[in-house]
Structure 1
Amino acid sequence: MKKIYLLPFLLLCSMATFAQIVNIESLRMNAKDKKLSGIVDLDFAIRKNKAGQTVVIGTDVGAQWNLGRKNRLIFLSGYHLTQFNDTDDPTAPSRNFNNQAFGHFRYNIDLSKTIALEAYSQAQWDEVQEIDIRFLNGAGLRFELLQNDTASFYFGLSYMLEYEETSERPEAITTNEHQRLSTYVSGQLGLNPFLNFNYVLYFQPRPAELEDFRISSNVGLSIRLSRKVNFTTSASLLFDSRPPSTVPKTQYFLSNGIRMDF
């Protein structure tokens, strides 16, 4: 089983399946031995948010360039549509929203066999979550805790600067600039040659105000249909201690889709 590495740097777009925390770990590619590799995800999700239970469709695209034996550059982006009734008029017909998009650049350099330095930038927006725009820039370390033919386990810790504009009301835009820590644990387990289990947990607190934090957890299963096509299913839970007043603190997502590798 090849080692899993992905990485951090900036652009634009946000992902309906993971709301305010973009789950980069779920998009990491296992192709350290290839010069260029990538993925395309097509998914359908049920999402619980401020509009109640909604339907989401979308796509995510990722590419990884191995610049050398120890250096990698990754680009990820996503675009999703959500259909639900207008919360101001629940009787109105359902309508589609281009509610989320994200872009993510990440650079990785191996410091040793088990430690990598990551630097990243990200941009996202999310109409449903009242995020007009959010920019992240950060850097940190990724530790390989376990790696063998059937399982891998990683821990990541980074420091990031966050700028966001939110609009709880159309006439009122709130600007926030924060420093955050971003930590995660992630793992994969190959149950057999056709079935792969994966898990990731994110925790993003503000060091100056620990009561302000976000937690995101995702559990997924991938079933190999062919050499380059997999069926994926996942469940996610997101908690934000201080979202905009119109957005619930806790949300969940149930997603099924197809992943194509190249």
Structure 2
Amino acid sequence: MQRLFSHVFCFLILCFSFTFFQPAQAQILNIERARVEQDSANYLTGKLGVNFSMFNRNAGKSNPNNYLQLTFHGNLAYVSSQNSYLLLNDYNYLLVNYDSKEQRNTVASTGYSHFRINFLRKRKLSYEVFTQVQTDKARGLELRTLAGGGLRLALLRENDVSLFAGTGLMHEHEEWEDLEQEGTNLQIADLLKSTNYVSTRVKFNDQLSTESIVYYQFGYDPGIRRMRNRVSGDVSLNVKLNSRLSFLTNFNCTFEDRPIVPVTKFVYALTNGLQVQF
């Protein structure tokens, strides 16, 4: 039976990967939102959410900007007796028609696909390996890939409250386009970085819970002979409507002290939507 679950999980990973391996987002990963802390083992669970919106902003009396936005996120987890396997996907597509006469459009797509394994998940000190692919076309990030591993320490693990800390190393490859200078070559960076996080989960009652995570990642760039630092965070509030459906409010932000190309150093996003758990 365990072997059957493993085969099913691998098949679903492939399906999700082919579906969402599109230019996918520089959004912060809240890995705690996808983790499962139940004692039972050898089962598959997941969460899906889709948001769709269409609206306009008047740039002039006869020149409205029309916006079409589609956001999808899907998490999949398989839990065995010793390990847990997480697959996280997020994709946002924004189409802006800013000149209806000439039908000129601009498209901004962001998203990520992230796979993580937590070995010996029930121990106070466990081990993790992960890999990720993402993009953020709106900011000029054509591609970011990373792979690494590290330690995960359970500082507090109660029924309604948990607190974890993690540290490790990763290799990060980035390809950036300078949107302010058209026709320039992509700026490429390959760095070995330290990645560290603190995460928490609090369940207030059967209907209300929250998860949050803060990352600090840094690495030395020989190209500029200086350190590059990134601090990011994610906070989500989950209101359970019934056994399957929840309302989710999420805020995430990122600060980079030395971006690869000239972009806004501090970016944030606040989103609301529905989430289905299966």
Using structure 1 for the length normalisation, give the TM-score.
0.80
1:97 and 1:206, CA in 2 relative to 1: closer, same or farther beyond 3 A?
same
1:64 to 63, 70, 77: 77
2:95·2:108 contact (CA, 8 Å) conserved in 1?
Answer: no
Structure with the larger RCO, 1 or 2 (CA within 8 Å, 6+ apart): 1
Report what 1:188 is aligned to.
201
Measured in 2, the distance between the counterparts of 1:55 and 1:210 equals 41
- The one-letter code matched in structure 1 to 2:44 is L
- 1:18-39 CA-partner distances (Å, limit 9, x unpaired): x354443333344562511111
- The one-letter code matched in structure 1 to 2:162 is S
- 1:96-149 CA-partner distances (Å, limit 9, x unpaired): 625113211212211762121101111112211211111101000111111112
Report what 2:9 is aligned to.
none
2:32·2:200 contact (CA, 8 Å) conserved in 1?
Answer: no
Measured in 2, the distance between the counterparts of 1:76 and 1:95 equals 30
Report what 1:6 is aligned to.
none
- 1:140-170 CA-partner distances (Å, limit 9, x unpaired): 0111111112111111111000111111144
Report what 1:41 is aligned to.
49
Shifted more, 201-210 versus 35-44: the winner is 201-210
- The one-letter code matched in structure 1 to 2:82 is K
- The one-letter code matched in structure 2 to 1:181 is S
Report what 1:216 is aligned to.
232
Shifted more, 118-127 versus 35-44: the winner is 35-44
Measured in 2, the distance between the counterparts of 1:218 and 1:111 equals 22
Report the number of matched residues.
240
1:14·1:22 contact (CA, 8 Å) conserved in 2?
Answer: no
Report what 1:254 is aligned to.
270
Report what 2:248 is aligned to.
232
Secondary structure of the residue aligned to 2:33 is helix
- The one-letter code matched in structure 2 to 1:241 is D
Q: Which 5+ residue runs of structure 1 have no aligned equivalent?
A: 1-8, 46-53
- Between structures 1 and 2, the one with greater helix share: 2
1:41·1:258 contact (CA, 8 Å) conserved in 2?
Answer: yes
Identity of aligned residues (%): 26
1:27 to 31, 34, 38: 34
Secondary structure of the residue aligned to 1:172 is coil
Measured in 2, the distance between the counterparts of 1:122 and 1:37 equals 20
- Between structures 1 and 2, the one with greater strand share: 1
1:251 and 1:32, CA in 2 relative to 1: closer, same or farther beyond 3 A?
farther
Q: CA RMSD in A?
A: 3.0
Report what 2:128 is aligned to.
118
